[in-house]
Structure 1
Amino acid sequence: MSSSPTRASPTRAPDISRKVPEEASADSLRTVGLREALRLFRNNNLSLRRAQSEARALQGEARQARAYPNPTLQATHEPLWRGGESQSETYLNLSQTLEWSGRSARIRSARKSAAAARSRTAADSARLAQQVAEAYVKAATAETRRRRLAQVTRVFRRADSSMAERRDEGDASGYAVRRIQLERARYEQRLAAARLEARSARRQLALLILPDEAPSVAAETLPGVPPPSISRREALRAALRARPELRRRQSEVEAQKAALRAARQEAWPDPSVTAGYKQQSNGFEGAFLGIGIPLPFFDRNRGAAEAATARLQSAQTQQTLARREIRNEVRRAYAAYTSTRRRSQLLNDELLQGSGDLLRIAQTSYGEGEMSLVELLDAADAYRDARLTRIELRTDLWTRYFRLLRAMGQPLDLP
């Protein structure tokens, strides 16, 4: 038997263009779009819940800061005696602390702290939403990659069966049979790895958007059209206007300013007023009124004021640093996105458009006996490489698009 590649009859051409059906397990999965994934994230994400709980805790503290101190009611009985004589005095006291110096400052500080906590929650939500978007892109890509590999693997399975029949008929060389078997084994391994990657991506997406012990979810296919172009000036302007981190830093500065005012006013003590009723055993009785004022001889709250001043300076520095970091982040995200978008247009328009035609031409040549089966399968391999290259490029493009939206402080959504 000759070891050279044999020519195939026209009836042996495998239908490579036939769509391979989805796995049954994938069909039973819940498939979500990006908008639904983000909605589920806002309802179920545990990290976001924790941040929201911390914000509510500070909101409760701000509400408590508005409460007045409770009055104190005290009853005292003093028995007195001398020799065989005895007397007694009975007091009924009501005391109330008057917060007139630092009350308004403390309330304002608590409110600003609660506002800063809400801003931090908004910033955390935006950061976590970016993780959801990237997990969604990975899950969608993993599903597409699995389908493409399943499609090409199906071709090699058919080719392996066809070559085995031809070998039994004496119409195929041993080299061709072993080559097809090797290619099939290689693609079976790739398909198994793609299935494992798809399951892992589903679980990661479910971890971010679903409650505990919820089943995994699949992501819808990414749009075939590329995301829109964005100008650099527009990106910078939007970021400096809408980034939640800037609102967070501004809220923290306002909170520290309020805390500094409260610390300075704490140096002025709050007086207390006492009123009561006194009754003596000799029949005398009457009301009394007193006032107490702490004297700020030793504690003038200077240390707390100095600490508040330092925290204010730190918050202002963080605000300036945040603006610089956001500008740099936008520039990096914009450069990465525009570069990937140009590369995507180049490959889609010039280099990858002919991959489907190449496979179709190879099928036609094989059906007419002008191409060996091994050559046809090499064309299928090239088709697989082109498809996966396009998938990876689309993944990179959408990931960088969502990162640019995140850097701009814009809602994450498909255009």
Structure 2
Amino acid sequence: MSAIPFRCVLLVAILSVLGGTADAQPARVQAERSASPAARQAPGLDRHAPEAGSADSLRTVSLREALRFFRENNLSLRRAQSAARALEGEARQVKAYPNPTLQATHEPHWRGDTHQSETYLNLSQKLEWSGRQARIASAEKTAAAARARASADSARLALQVTEAYVEAATAETRRRRLEQVTRVFRQADSSMAERRNEGDASGYAVRRIQLERARYEQRLAAARLDARSARRQLALLILPDEAPPVAAEPLPGATPPSISRGEAVRTALRARPELRRWQSAVAAQEAARRAARQEAWPDPSITAGYKRQSDGFEGAFLGIGLPLPFFDRNRGAAEAESARLRAAQTQQALARREIRNEVRRARAAYASTRRQSQLLEGDLLRGSGDLLRIAQTSYDEGEMSLVELLDAADAYRDARIRSVNLRADLWTRYFSLLRAMGQPIDLP
């Protein structure tokens, strides 16, 4: 048998695997999704399940499941929510009235052999009327600001989870692509060695195939390490301690929708929790300033009681106590609250400006990546397929060497990996834009 038919067989094997990558992915996705119900148990999945030796046997989670597990298990989110609940408790406590004071007093008196005594039973109550409503309003607005801050922290952490999910899904796709190409060169290496023993292949061709296989084996090993690391990072963010790594489902092949800059900015100024936080903070400081000014007029105390003397006289009494604001009129506290109010108003204006800039940057980055993705997945990717067909024809006609053919296959592989990376950037920037707009992160 001549060397040319064998080269044609080798070329067909390479092209069938490389060109069939897109066709093989849906079947792999379906297989992974069929295993995902096991991962949809309790948030912890199976804490004691060992990590599978094969990536395909790992349990997979969808983006929606990952975000649900995050809300149930993430410690940083729990801390932010606990801080908000603490301020809510303080706001409820401010509404409580001060407790009355009950006091019993007995006063014995002696003068020689004469003995007298007086007994008092007092009930005192402080009346809060100067700044009570303002203090309550300030505490409630402070609690509302804490809830908005916890919501903003949740959105920020959810974006981190989403980015980890995209990285895990992309790492799995890179690994699968490299596994398919590496299998081709493993088979080619074995076949080429057999052909050399039969005298149908040169030593140079055998060595060239071995070097190419070694290069892809190294790439595959690095891709597997990256995939394992991405799985662990995803599990760390969404699952309890000691939980096994989980794999992410592949990213959708469809392109996310286009979002205009005006729509993005309007939505952000309406929905961003950071703006609600500073709006509540400004209202809280306004109420705190009113309370500080009103506290210049002190709260009175009313005292009522019963008195009995040893000579038989007894009766009830009523008194009122009113602190006189001669020296302390709470002016320093009022000035401090006014300064804090101005600082909160300034921060609110800065937050609006920063959110506008953040949305514009996120939208511009997303729009640019979306255009690049459409271009690459259209003209450029079809061009790489033409390159392989041209290489196949030239190789069959003896116009291209084996090295040139392998270079063409390598260029095709680079185009596919570049497409995978660009799709990861596309979804990452789409989710970042949703976060900048204050919208829930989810697939369209």
Which fold has the larger relative contact order, with Cα–Cα distance below 8 Å and residues 6 or more apart in sequence?
1
Amino acid at match of 2:74: N
TM-score, scaled relative to structure 1: 0.92
**1:270 touches 1:294 (CA, 8 Å); kept in 2?**
yes
Distance across 2 between alignment mates of 1:356 and 1:47: 47
Distance across 2 between alignment mates of 1:12 and 1:333: 46
Partner of 1:281: 310
Amino acid at match of 2:13: D
Partner of 1:208: 237
Amino acid at match of 2:59: R
Q: Secondary structure at the match of 1:352?
A: helix
Shift of 1:35: 1.6
**Which of 135, 140, 144 is the aligned partner of 2:164?**
135
Summarize deviations over 1:68-108 as a string: whole Å, max 9, x none.
11111111111111112211111111111111111111111
Shift of 1:167: 2.3
% identical equivalent positions:
81
**Which of 390, 399, 402 is the aligned partner of 2:431?**
402
Partner of 1:377: 406
Amino acid at match of 1:72: T
Partner of 2:215: 186
Shift of 1:372: 5.4
Residue 79 (structure 2) pairs with residue 50 (structure 1): yes
- RMSD value, Cα: 2.2
Summarize deviations over 1:331-371 as a string: whole Å, max 9, x none.
11121111111112222211112434544665687689886
Summarize deviations over 1:300-323 as a string: whole Å, max 9, x none.
111111111111101100111111
Distance across 2 between alignment mates of 1:313 and 1:322: 14
Summarize deviations over 1:53-75 as a string: whole Å, max 9, x none.
11111110111111111111111
Distance across 2 between alignment mates of 1:15 and 1:208: 41
**Which of 297, 303, 326 is the aligned partner of 2:355?**
326
TM-score, scaled relative to structure 2: 0.87
Structure 1 stretch 342-351 or stretch 385-394: which is displaced more?
A: 342-351
**1:12 touches 1:367 (CA, 8 Å); kept in 2?**
no
**Which of 88, 96, 99 is the aligned partner of 2:117?**
88
**Which of 360, 368, 389 is the aligned partner of 2:418?**
389
Partner of 1:118: 147
Q: Secondary structure at the match of 1:339?
A: helix
Distance across 2 between alignment mates of 1:97 and 1:320: 41
Distance across 1 between alignment mates of 2:326 and 2:289: 21
Shift of 1:125: 1.4
Amino acid at match of 2:238: I
Distance across 2 between alignment mates of 1:13 and 1:342: 33
**1:249 touches 1:315 (CA, 8 Å); kept in 2?**
yes
Distance across 2 between alignment mates of 1:356 and 1:40: 41
**Which of 227, 240, 246 is the aligned partner of 2:256?**
227
Partner of 1:197: 226
Residue 373 (structure 2) pairs with residue 344 (structure 1): yes
Distance across 1 between alignment mates of 2:329 and 2:235: 55
Summarize deviations over 1:109-138 as a string: whole Å, max 9, x none.
111111111111111111112112211111
Partner of 1:263: 292
Structure 1 stretch 151-160 or stretch 355-364: which is displaced more?
A: 355-364
Residue 56 (structure 2) pairs with residue 27 (structure 1): yes
Q: Secondary structure at the match of 1:94?
A: strand
Shift of 1:24: 5.3
Q: Secondary structure at the match of 2:169?
A: helix
Unaligned stretches of 5+ in structure 2? Answer: 18-23, 33-51
Distance across 2 between alignment mates of 1:354 and 1:222: 24
Written as runs of structure 1 = structure 2, the 5 A alignment for 1:128-167 is 128-167=157-196
Q: Secondary structure at the match of 1:353?
A: helix
Shift of 1:380: 2.7
Q: Secondary structure at the match of 1:294?
A: coil
Distance across 1 between alignment mates of 2:428 and 2:4: 45
**Which of 120, 123, 126 is the aligned partner of 1:97?**
126
**1:92 touches 1:278 (CA, 8 Å); kept in 2?**
yes
Partner of 1:15: 13
**1:7 touches 1:371 (CA, 8 Å); kept in 2?**
no
Distance across 2 between alignment mates of 1:87 and 1:364: 127
Distance across 1 between alignment mates of 2:233 and 2:312: 83
**Which of 294, 306, 311 is the aligned partner of 2:323?**
294
Distance across 1 between alignment mates of 2:312 and 2:425: 94
Q: Secondary structure at the match of 1:81?
A: strand
**1:11 touches 1:367 (CA, 8 Å); kept in 2?**
no
